[in-house]
Amino acid sequence: MTIGTLGLRVVPCSVRPSERTLRACTAFGIALERAARTRPGLPANGPRLARLVARRLRRGGVALITGPSGCGKSSLLRLVRSALRAHGIAIVRATPLDARAKCRAVLDLLGGSVEDALLALGAAGLADATLWPRTPGELSEGQRWRLGLAVAVRRARPGSCVIADEFCSVLDRTTARCVAGTLARWAARTPGALAVCATAHADLAGALEPRLTVELGLDGRARLARGRRATP
């Protein structure tokens, strides 16, 4: 009698499972099978695809990399980052600010003039004056993510590129679409502004208005198109 005839679903496991893991999985109809350790997928033509994205984007605009979790979005984003650098484009990464960051007011964390700081905060969806005197530790997780995006936008110079992995992933969908829209408007009105956003959410293309879209699949396939829609 095989595992299949017992009605168990076989799932690969790259480490030796403990007895408790075996019991828990079996209780839910899952049998474990030893397998080689895997990493998130990436299209076989990943390096070529990254070079193509960099070449099409270097004049400015926003690129969107999307697809389900585990399809290789972060891996492709790293390749795109390297390809952009090869074209002489400086990279500014948008990362969430730690709650333990310096005890400075939000507005004071962004250098330059007040007007420039407010433009960056607006591009990240933080155009709420009640937030500006707070410290990062007084913000929610989503607000700290947006603050990290604002800092990146403020640091960006004409011709540099803002890289945002897990773009708006921690935000509710209404807020996420608002942030995508404000970032799109920042890119449209800022000469030479570039941004590459990677997200598993498929509802942001309309607001983000990307110049270029890459859709990745779990089967290793990639679809590339100008604008928001990708076609095979």
Please write the tens of the pLDDT for every residue from 131-163. 999 998 899 999 999 999 999 999 998 889 999
Q: Residue 227: beta bridge partners?
A: none
Average the pLDDT over 209-228 and give the result: 87
Q: What is the CATH number of the domain that holds 63?
A: 3.40.50.300
Within-domain flag for 78: yes
Say yes or no: 82 and 114 in one domain. yes
Given a cut of 80, whether residue 96 has pLDDT beyond it is yes
Give CA angle at 94 (202, 158), nearest 5°: 105
If one counts the domains in the chain, the total is 2
Give the span between the Cα atoms of 150 and 99, in whole angstroms. Answer: 16
The pTM of the full predicted model, rounded to 2 decimals, is 0.80
pLDDT band at residue 2 using 50, 70 and 90 as cut-offs: very low
CB 222 within 8 A of CB 214: yes
Among 112, 109, 58, which Cα is nearest to 80's?
58
Say yes or no: 181 and 136 in one domain. yes
Say yes or no: 26 and 79 in one domain. no
The values of phi and psi at residue 199, to 5°, are -155, 150
Average the pLDDT over 192-214 and give the result: 93
Give the span between the Cα atoms of 172 and 162, in whole angstroms. Answer: 22
Say yes or no: 29 and 54 in one domain. no
Say yes or no: 78 and 57 in one domain. yes
Domain containing 29 equals: 4-34
Say yes or no: 157 and 216 in one domain. yes
Within-domain flag for 39: no
pLDDT band at residue 39 using 50, 70 and 90 as cut-offs: low
Say yes or no: 134 and 187 in one domain. yes
CB 170 within 8 A of CB 146: no
Given a cut of 90, whether residue 15 has pLDDT beyond it is no
Q: Is 13 helix (H, G, I), strand (E, B) or coil?
A: strand
pLDDT band at residue 38 using 50, 70 and 90 as cut-offs: low
Say yes or no: 162 and 206 in one domain. yes
The pLDDT score that the predictor gives to residue 37 is 58
- State the DSSP code for 156: -
Among 77, 92, 78, which Cα is nearest to 214's?
77
Give the span between the Cα atoms of 201 and 41, in whole angstroms. Answer: 18
